[in-house]
Structure 1
Amino acid sequence: MQYTITGATGHLGQRIVNALAKLVPASTLNLGVHTPSKAAAFQARDMTIKAVDYHDAASLTAALAGSDVFIYVPSKSHDSFSRVSEFENVVGAAEAAQVGHILVMGFIADQVNNPFALAAFYGYMPCRLAASSLHYTIIRNALYADPLVPYLLELIERQNVIYPMADQALSFISQSDSAAAFAKVATTPALLKTGRIYTLTQNRAYTMPALAKVLSAVSGAPIGYQPVSLAEFSALYNQGNEGHMLASMYAGGARGLLDTVSDDYQLIMGRPAQTLPDFLAEHYRPATR
């Protein structure tokens, strides 16, 4: 079996590669990356590195040749049009390369009534795959818990969670748990079912007061909930022009569209995902303040 992973030097992609390396020989892993020099450590472990440009059909098709399982992690962009355009190239290249099975990363904010800037892409994905000639499986992630760890320092200073979420809840998954599930599905024929959509979440969702309570317990600092407006949130976190995209996600959350809870992680891994309090307690270090 030959496995190809794109986005292999990104936060999730690296974790997927490392999780796969625990289950299959490193020599069966082909990593599609935009900048090969960033994957030198993986190459030293006997993995094959291939330069991939999502907008260059020839390089993408060549990188996917001989792939029994192709794990597609989308590139980071802030609008659905860019991601749909990329995905069209990916689907076309996967069909041309006659990929055995494509395993695609999705997200829970994919509803038709979700104002999230990337919801159209995530909603388009399963429809487009169904219309293709590919065997496919989708794994939808909840919000990543990982960014909460460095963000805790700011929340301690603010003394409040400020997400514009009203009285609605958020569900989370850690990147490590997500990567482990991707690797398990990719290497387990009984799980790699055509048309199957898995959703990865922890065992509960958190309203903002409940989230603040968890963050307070982990940090030992008083943290409450005082939301800012969507416009304020967008302006506060507009580094890299991401403000609108992030605010639009919480606009969907305020409509109750980010509170999905699923037992699919338990189904895949045979154990529950790490809880949010346990994850934060493991990774937060007060000394970093």
Structure 2
Amino acid sequence: MTILVTGATGHLGRLVVDALLERGVPAEQIRAAGRSAERLAPLAARGVDTAVIDFERPETLVPAFDGVDAVLLVSGSEVGKRVAQHANAIEAAKAAGVSRLVYTSAPRATDSALVLAPEHAETERLLAASGLPVTILRNNWYTENYVGQLDTAAATGELVGSAGEGRVASASRKDYAEAAAVVLTEPGHDGAVYELSGDVAWTFDELAATIGSLIGREVAYRSVSPEEHASILSGAGLDEGTVGFVVALDGNIRDGLLGEATPTLRELIGRPTTPLAEGLAEAREDDAAA
């Protein structure tokens, strides 16, 4: 059995390869695919098969998918281009006759107003029409997305945002990666759509307090209006597109779209999800070691 992991040079894909190895999958039965041969080299050094691919160049996908039994399609990072990229990967999987395709989607993708949902929803529709045996992993937010806030909080003593009293049921990438490895290696998941999240949905006041305990100073959350938030971000030099995305995401959080904590991730990985403080501390250490 050969398992293909796309996006293997990214944060999540690399951790999925690690999780597969930890579950006893032989390195030669894992094919790690990404855009950079240089970044794939450390995996090749561990005995993992590697393939350089580009979702926008279908001719690179054909050899990478050849002889593959199961595929983890890690959603692309280029917002606005992902549907076409994912469509190319799905066509390659169909041509190769893969027996299982697992896709990393977004919470409630097909019926959510989440700013990130539309491309995931369209990809899910493509997968449903493909005829392939598919499992959907609808990952909630990654705790690591907030590690950059530690330096800001250390300098200013505050976090600023427009999420109000909204909650985020985040988990660490390692948690989601372990779930992907379970689904890729165990039977019984075909056709499933899993809403995955951390065990606890936290507020930004709680995030500020957690960060304060990690950096050793008091940190407060300053809740502002969306308009004021946009002005602050623009003043900090962020481009218009980024400002719009950040403010929209905080609005989604304010509306409760990332606040649903389900037990599914915990059940798949057989342990509690990583607590917020532990996840932030580990991400900070990883960044320092990089």
What's the TM-score, normalizing by structure 2? 0.88
Q: 1:27 to 1:240 in 2, by over 3 A?
A: farther
CA distance in 2, matches of 1:93, 1:233: 44
**1:234 positional shift:** 4.8
**1:241 positional shift:** 5.7
CA contact (8 A) 1:109 1:122 kept: no
Partner of 1:273: 273
**1:214 positional shift:** 2.2
Partner of 1:257: 257
RMSD: 2.2
SS in 2 for 1:162: strand
Partner of 1:68: 69
Partner of 1:100: 99
Partner of 2:199: 203
Q: 1:233 to 1:200 in 2, by over 3 A?
A: farther
Partner of 2:156: 158
Partner of 2:53: 52
SS in 1 for 2:104: strand
SS in 1 for 2:14: helix
Partner of 2:122: 124
Say which structure is richer in helix: 2
CA contact (8 A) 1:8 1:32 kept: yes
Aligned residue-pair number: 281
1:153-201: per-residue Cα shift (whole Å, max 9, x none)? 21232222212102211121111111111112211113xx222122322
CA contact (8 A) 1:168 1:255 kept: yes
Runs of 5+ consecutive residues of structure 2 not aligned to the other structure: none
CA contact (8 A) 2:33 2:40 kept: no
Structure 2 residue 44 is matched with structure 1 residue 43:
yes
1:9-53: per-residue Cα shift (whole Å, max 9, x none)? 011111111111122000001112112122111112222111211
CA contact (8 A) 2:205 2:220 kept: yes
CA distance in 2, matches of 1:119, 1:68: 28
Amino acid paired to 2:138: R
Partner of 1:244: 244
CA contact (8 A) 1:164 1:233 kept: no
The worse-fitting range, judged by mean Cα deviation, of 222-231 and 28-37 is 222-231
**1:78 positional shift:** 2.6
Partner of 2:147: 149
CA contact (8 A) 2:87 2:123 kept: no
SS in 2 for 1:147: helix
CA contact (8 A) 2:153 2:219 kept: yes
What's the TM-score, normalizing by structure 1? 0.89
CA contact (8 A) 1:130 1:195 kept: no
SS in 2 for 1:225: strand
